Structures are given as C-alpha cells and as structure tokens.
Structure 1
Amino acid sequence: MTASGGTAGSIDLDRLAPDADRVASTIATLAAGFTESAEPGWTRRVFSDAYRASRGWTLALMRDAGLEAHLDPAGNVVGVLPGRNRSAPPLMTGSHTDTVHGGGRFDGIVGVVGAVEVARRLLESGQQLERDLVVVDFLGEEANPFGVSCVGSRSIAGLLDAEHLGRRDDEGRRLGDVMTTFGLDPGAALAQGWSPGSLHGYVELHVEQGPVLETAGTSIGVVTAIAGIERLFARFTGRADHAGTMPMDQRRDALAAAAAAVVAVEREGCGAPVHGVSTVGRFESSPGALNVVPDEARVWAEIRSTEAAWLTGARRRVVDAIGAEAERRGVTTVVDWLNDQDPVRADPLVQDLIGSSADSLGLRWQAVPSGAGHDAAHLAHLGPMGMIFIPSVGGRSHCPEELSQTDHVAEGVHVLAATLVAMDARSGAVTSA
C-alpha cells in the first residue's frame, strides 16, 4: 500500500474517497422510512413489515449504484460489481440493516451503506477491480425469538441447517414456516451455501458499539477476534405458598433461586480474564402476586468471550452454581444452553492490510476485539476475514442514542475501499495461514 495520495496497483485511492453527505443522507433515509413504530429509537426486526419494505429499498439502492442486484433464497440482498476477471474468486463486503427493538441508526447499516458507496465510487471514478466485488445486506443478523442470529450469512456460509429451521418461537411457529410466509425458500436457503475457500476475502465495516476507540481518540479499529456467544435458558420450579404464613426456612421459592442464578451469571463476567462478559437479559416469575411465594421462574442469559476455553469453563461454573443454590432451596431446575457462535479470529494478514490502509490515509488505528457477534464470523468459513470498526459516541449501541459521527463514517468507508483494493491486488490467497 502506498502513502496517502498514491495508488494501489491501477487504483487511485484518493478518487475512492466517499461522498460523506451522500452516505449520511442514505443512512438517514433508511432510518426515516422504515421502522415498525413511533416508539423511541428505530425498530426494524427480521420478518416485520417494515423490514420487508426495507429489503426492496436496499435492492433499489444497490441497482441505482450500478450493482447487479437480486434477492437470494434466504432473503439476502446481494449486489455484484463485475471485475476484470469474473472467474477469479470474488471479494465480499457488507453487513445488515435489521435492528433490535428500539435500536439505533448505525449498527449494521454503516457496513451496508458504506459497501454500496465503495462500489459506487469505483464506478464513478471509472476504476475497476480485478475480481468481482459482492456486496451483501445479510438477512436477520440480530437475535430473534427463534434463537438463530445471522440467518442470511449462515445460509451463504453453508452453516444454516434443518435444526435451525425447526426451532420455534414463544408462539410455537417454526422458523422455516415464517421464512416461507416472508416469501423466502427455506429449502433453497439450506442448499445455497458457498464452498469453503470460494471467497478471496471478506471485510466488514461496522460501528464499534463500545467506548474503546472514542476514549483513545482513535479513528479506526482493526478487529482481532469476534467473541463466541453461549446463551442460557433456566427454568426453576418451586412451590406456591401463602407469603404470610409459610416460614422462611420451609419455603421452596423459585424466584429466590432464580435471583441467585442472576448473581452467578454476573459473577462470571466480572471475573473474566481478557475479554469476557455475561448478561441476564430477561427474567420472569409466577404467579406474580405479592402475597404468594413464587412457584416458577425463568431466566434468559448469555456469556461472551473471544477465548473458547474461558467460555467452556464459565458454562460449567454457572450450571454448578445454579444447581447448588436451587438444591439448597428445594427448587428443581432445568438449564439449557444454546451455542450462537464460537469465537472466531480475524485473519492476521487481513488485519495487516486494514492497518496499512488506515496508515496510507493518515488515520490512527488500534487493534480491538469484538464483543458483539457479526455476520463476519460466519463468512470466515469461506475465506480470509477481517473487520473495520469506527467510533461510537459514548460507546452507546442497541439504543436510540446510538451515534457515529459523519466524519468517522466517511473515514471508515475510505479505509474499507483501500482495504478491498489491497486485497484485490494480492494474487492467490489473501490469508497468511
């Protein structure tokens, strides 16, 4: 990679600088036009009417930018910018445009809009990559009631399976049936997986969703690894009794046992080495009367880390702690674990290319792990993978206050362009493995 103002191969990087106002306007248009409700924040959950409408908008955005775009059987919006050698393994970039309930305007969206902007700038500047550039808005990256995140990227990576499609939500609906109702083809989604090694490389632009870059005053984060996620569901069954007459030492209080489980989950995250966190995101109990000892309680939680060994140990310690406390209180418990994804390391050479690309544009960067899950974790099964982070104001994300400044977004898009050019210029495999 050459110094700022130079070229990489036959590509002039200065001419790929994004139109920052256009990028900001596109992000604002998506936010304003497609949300499920007038509640604070932006809600565009997978399989909602707002999300369905936004898929058509994204498809039109890609086509307007000059991409050959279509919807695949899993509902991914896929755009292709042809390269000079269409038989060469392609590059891929993208992210997602679904949100959590009451979420923000930037999580995932920056990666999709930024990827489209890179393709648009290549065409507007009259420059062409050697290989095809595939831009994807992956379907359903966020967690959903079926317990299957990253539905679209799993499909492309060949990691979506029949067990996923058979999972049911709280209303008893199967994921596969809901996909069919949404106009997708679950069978074809299972069968369309690309072959391992079929990508020359994948790189994803994303907001950090944490405070590290902003605190350090750094423009670009080079992701070293994506955390693995283990999700827990625990059900506690005790005995309902009169709250005024049953002595404390004779109670079988399901809620008290569940509360102890909450503390056990939190304790694991607080004691984690390097990068590890734990969260209880949902808690329910019944019958919900002030004068009745609760006979049932349910806890939903997750633990995350980039270290697989710690995740394995944390699972065991949490189960042991929950079981011991429930037994002490005379409460029975059932604990189920659901592996959302294993920790995934970013390719070392792709990390180097992102860092050198930031250097070439005069931008400060630092290496950071990702505590959030991403589509990139699944695309690593197809080829060398890397991620670019940009700062999040206050480290806020998954909330209405989520914000990344326009200049930081533009810098991230420019680094994405420079990284894709550097990856494209390398013959053979990008990976250093």
Structure 2
Amino acid sequence: MKDLDTDTLGGLAQQIFDGVRALSRDTAGVSRPAFSSVETETLAWLADFARQNGLHVTEDAGRNLLFSLPQDANATRWTLIGSHVDSVPMGGNYDGLAGVAAGLIVLIRAARSGRRFRKPVKCIAMRGEESAWFGACYLGSKMLTGQLPADELAATHKGDDRPLSAHLQDLGIDTAPLAAHLPICDLSRIDEYLELHIEQGPLLVERDIPAAVVSGIRGNFRHRKIRCIGQAGHSGAVPRAYRHDPVLAFAELMHRLDSTWSHLQQTGDDLVLTSGIVGTDPASHAIARIPDELMFSLDIRSQDAEVLNQMRRYLRAQMDDISRSRGVRFDTGSEVAVAPALMDATIIAGLQDAMQQATGDTFTMASGGGHDAAIFAQAGIPAGMVFVRNRNGSHNPDEAMEIDDFLVGTAVLSTYLEEAP
C-alpha cells in the first residue's frame, strides 16, 4: 500500500483552489453568491474534477453535491465531511472551499493509495452558508437538517429583493418541506459530520502551529443598536457634576466589561466580546458639544451557555449602576442569540489522537466564528472540526492559507477516517 506524496496531494489541492478562483474573481478577491449561477458553476466544476479523479458524484434535494468512492455510493450510513462553496462579496478563496477541497483530497488519497476507511465517507459541497446575501447564515445546512425558520425562507436577497424561496425555486428546489421545517436529507444515515476550515483569527499564526482540533463553536448574544441616552450641553459651560455624558458612560461600561473578560479568562472560562459599531449622531455632534446620545453594538461570545447567561446578567447590572451614577439611560433594543455548539467529545479525542499520529503534537482551541458544523451538532449529529492556519483573517481577499498547512489538516482527517495501516 503506497501513500501519495505531498507534492501530488498539494498539486491536486492547488488545482481545486485555482480552478474555482478563476470562476469567481471579482474586483477584489472572489464572489460566489449563495444560490447563484456562480455557485452553480462552481459546483459543476467540482463535479467534473471529482469524476476525472475517479469519484462518484450525486446531487441531493438541496442541489448540494455529494462525492464518494464508487464502492461507497450506495452505502446505507456514512461519515459526512465537507463545507460550503459560497463566499462573502469580494472575499477570500479559502473560507468554506478549503473544507470541500479537504474532503475531496481525503477521498482521492484513499482511492489512489488503496487505503480503506473505517466506515464509508461522503464529501458534501454545500450551498448558502454566508449571511451576506440573504441576511441569514447556514441556510444550506439548515435546509438539510430541517432547521430553516420561516422568516429566513422569506428573507430577501440584497441585490434583487426577491425572497430566498424564489431563488430556491429557480434552482428546482422543492420549498414545501422547508416551509414545513422538515429535513430534506435522511439524517439517520449520517453517523458524524466533520469540517475542515481556515482559522479566522490569529491564534495558530501567533503560536506557529499549522492546524488544530476544534473543541466547540462559540454561541453569542448580540445587540445591534444599544442607545446610551444622556443630555446635550456646552463642552465648556457644564461642570462635571452636572453632566449626563453618554460617551463617558459607554467608556465606563466597556472598561468594566473588559475587566470582567480578563478575570474570566484568567479563571479558565471562555469569552470574547466586541463593540464594532460606536458613534454619536453625525448630524448633531460637534467638538464643543456634549452629545445627547451615543449608539453602539455589542457582541458577546462563549462556548459555555452559563457564561453567556452570566454576562447577560452582568451587562444589565452594570448598565443600571452606570445609569444611576452618570444620569444616563441605556436602551438595549432587541437581542439576537445563538446557542453554543460543543463538538462531540469522542470525535475530539479521535481527532486529537489523529493529529498526534500525523504531526507528533496536538493543539485544541475554540472557534469564535460560526460554521455549518454547529447546525449539524444542533440537529443531533456528532460533529467535529479541524482548523488550518491562515493569515490575515477571513472574509477578505487577503486570506493566506499555505498548501503545506492545508495538507497537515487533511492528514489529520485521513488518519482519523482510515483504518490503521
């Protein structure tokens, strides 16, 4: 039994990335809109590539593609491995696509080397994960698992204002099961779901580690528009004791939240928080004016549901305290929340062992971004993930995954999936 060398596997991977990039170039980076003709052309290219390399290809009810070894085409149960092919507008080429490419490389490696999987393996190339086009994320995996809310089926496209249901019907997808919240695949046939993805933060780069096992996907609660309401005044005429300054109230709140974040991190709890939108009203703000209102967003994430609940209570208590001391008022607006999704403990242990075998070391971390793996986990399917080192973040044209790191990630998956040599 002869394994393929890394040059051969790397060449196949590069062929995938270059071929798909050529189909979806934009003014900057790539654009593969969810449920678009570009996404369809990408899937067609991947189908041709898979067939040329001896794989069986079929399409499911959501117009996603499934790849397998020919002998596993009619398997009754399987491990599902893959990711999505759509991208954000003018995004990077690896977010999502790397997971599909990994599944294809795992299958081709097994086919050409004569290795056998412990159980049948199928790779899925999914549509519609990014929220940029319809304002909701994980649409493809929610459709597969029967978790698509009615408001998301009715969500309109940012370009043409037509609902998602109309775009699906254009592709020949039956929307009746979706409206009834029914899975459009037989979930009982999927033993587990695995996904390779580029890391979207700097941890692996900073620690000089090529890949990692993912322990869980952080849930979050978000307030898109919190208003801190104070009282306008002249910057030179109002003494400190008589000010109702929303800017200083916001600053104090963020300082308290940051201090609590530091404390929780030091005690071993998982937490990240961000205020990505901050500002006073540009129509009325001025250098010599105490603003009457400041608006900000808040995004708080953790793998631990209890930590999220603790932060909810803490946020409200601190807002109430600052309101009393500074004479302001906080209006949080509505909350949008997503539950954390822990990866399956048995799969985590298996991937850690596979990483140890493949690389001589192991590293495990949380995912700050959301992924299709969370949707499968929430549907009751054991799920696991592998991250690959990637510079410059994601959702931008400067994603910089190295093929050598990608091959480390695929080696971890192959070692986990294949029978011991």
Equivalent positions of 1:151-162 (< 5 A) are 151-162=139-150
Equivalent positions of 1:313-324 (< 5 A) are 313-322=310-319, 324=321
Show the counterpart of 1:54.
Answer: 42
Q: Report SS of the residue matched to 2:189.
A: coil
Q: Report SS of the residue matched to 1:225.
A: strand
Asked if the contact 1:168/1:175 (under 8 Å) is kept, the reply is yes
Alpha-carbon distance, 1:84 to partner: 4.8
> Which region of structure 1 is more displaced relative to structure 2, 111-120 or 46-55?
46-55
Equivalent positions of 1:68-147 (< 5 A) are 68-70=57-59, 72-73=61-62, 76-84=64-72, 86-125=74-113, 129=117, 132-144=120-132
Equivalents in 2 of 1:182, 1:104: separation in Å? 27
In structure 1, the gaps of 5 or more residues are 1-11, 426-433
Give the percent of matched residue pairs that are identical in Structure 1 and Structure 2.
Answer: 23
Q: Report SS of the residue matched to 1:365.
A: coil
Show the counterpart of 1:3.
Answer: none
Q: Report SS of the residue matched to 2:136.
A: coil
Equivalent positions of 1:386-405 (< 5 A) are 386-393=384-391, 396-405=393-402
Paired amino acid for 2:331: T
Show the counterpart of 1:278.
Answer: 273
Equivalent positions of 1:360-379 (< 5 A) are 360-379=357-376
Paired amino acid for 1:20: G
Q: Report SS of the residue matched to 2:125.
A: strand
Q: Report SS of the residue matched to 1:336.
A: coil
Question: If the length of structure 1 is used for normalisation, what is the TM-score?
Answer: 0.77
Equivalents in 1 of 2:282, 2:359: separation in Å? 61
Equivalents in 1 of 2:146, 2:416: separation in Å? 26
Alpha-carbon distance, 1:93 to partner: 0.3
Equivalents in 2 of 1:145, 1:91: separation in Å? 30
Q: Report SS of the residue matched to 1:234.
A: strand
> Which region of structure 1 is more displaced relative to structure 2, 237-246 or 150-159?
237-246
Alpha-carbon distance, 1:376 to partner: 1.1
Decide whether aligned partners of structure 1 residues 172 and 411 sit closer, same or farther in structure 2, where only a CA change above 3 A counts: closer
Q: Report SS of the residue matched to 1:209.
A: coil
Paired amino acid for 2:416: T
Alpha-carbon distance, 1:277 to partner: 0.5
Paired amino acid for 2:271: G
Select 2:383's aligned residue among 364, 382, 385. 385
Asked if the contact 2:213/2:387 (under 8 Å) is kept, the reply is yes
Q: Report SS of the residue matched to 1:149.
A: coil
Equivalent positions of 1:102-251 (< 5 A) are 102-125=90-113, 129=117, 132-144=120-132, 148-166=136-154, 176-177=164-165, 179-180=167-168, 183=171, 184-189=173-178, 190-194=181-185, 197-236=188-227, 238=229, 247=238
Note the aligned Cα RMSD (angstroms).
3.9
Select 2:19's aligned residue among 22, 26, 29. 29
Asked if the contact 1:226/1:371 (under 8 Å) is kept, the reply is yes
Paired amino acid for 2:214: V
Asked if the contact 1:277/1:303 (under 8 Å) is kept, the reply is yes
Q: Report SS of the residue matched to 1:107.
A: coil
Alpha-carbon distance, 1:256 to partner: 6.5
Equivalents in 2 of 1:61, 1:72: separation in Å? 21
Equivalents in 1 of 2:161, 2:149: separation in Å? 17
Asked if the contact 1:82/1:131 (under 8 Å) is kept, the reply is no
Alpha-carbon distance, 1:226 to partner: 2.0
Equivalents in 2 of 1:293, 1:343: separation in Å? 40
Q: Report SS of the residue matched to 1:88.
A: coil
Q: Report SS of the residue matched to 1:309.
A: helix
Q: Report SS of the residue matched to 2:264.
A: coil
Equivalents in 2 of 1:236, 1:155: separation in Å? 35
Paired amino acid for 2:281: S
Show the counterpart of 1:412.
Answer: 409
Paired amino acid for 1:95: S
Paired amino acid for 2:94: F
Alpha-carbon distance, 1:336 to partner: 1.7
Residues 1:306 and 2:306 aligned together:
no
Decide whether aligned partners of structure 1 residues 34 and 169 sit closer, same or farther in structure 2, where only a CA change above 3 A counts: closer
Q: Report SS of the residue matched to 1:355.
A: helix
Select 1:14's aligned residue among 3, 10, 22. 3
CA deviation vs aligned residue, 1:386-431 (integer Å, no higher than 9, x gap)? 21222224x74344332222111122222222222249x9xxxxxx
Paired amino acid for 2:21: A
Q: Report SS of the residue matched to 2:334.
A: strand
CA deviation vs aligned residue, 1:142-190 (integer Å, no higher than 9, x gap)? 3447653212122222322324335578999586446447645443444
Paired amino acid for 1:203: L
CA deviation vs aligned residue, 1:323-355 (integer Å, no higher than 9, x gap)? 554574444614322123x22222232223223
Alpha-carbon distance, 1:230 to partner: 2.2
Asked if the contact 2:277/2:297 (under 8 Å) is kept, the reply is yes
Q: Report SS of the residue matched to 1:14.
A: coil
> Which region of structure 1 is more displaced relative to structure 2, 91-100 or 24-33?
24-33
CA deviation vs aligned residue, 1:110-158 (integer Å, no higher than 9, x gap)? 1111112222334444666575432222333234476532121222223
Asked if the contact 2:141/2:372 (under 8 Å) is kept, the reply is yes
Decide whether aligned partners of structure 1 residues 67 and 126 sit closer, same or farther in structure 2, where only a CA change above 3 A counts: same
Equivalents in 2 of 1:295, 1:172: separation in Å? 38
Paired amino acid for 2:13: V
Q: Report SS of the residue matched to 1:204.
A: strand
Asked if the contact 2:211/2:388 (under 8 Å) is kept, the reply is yes
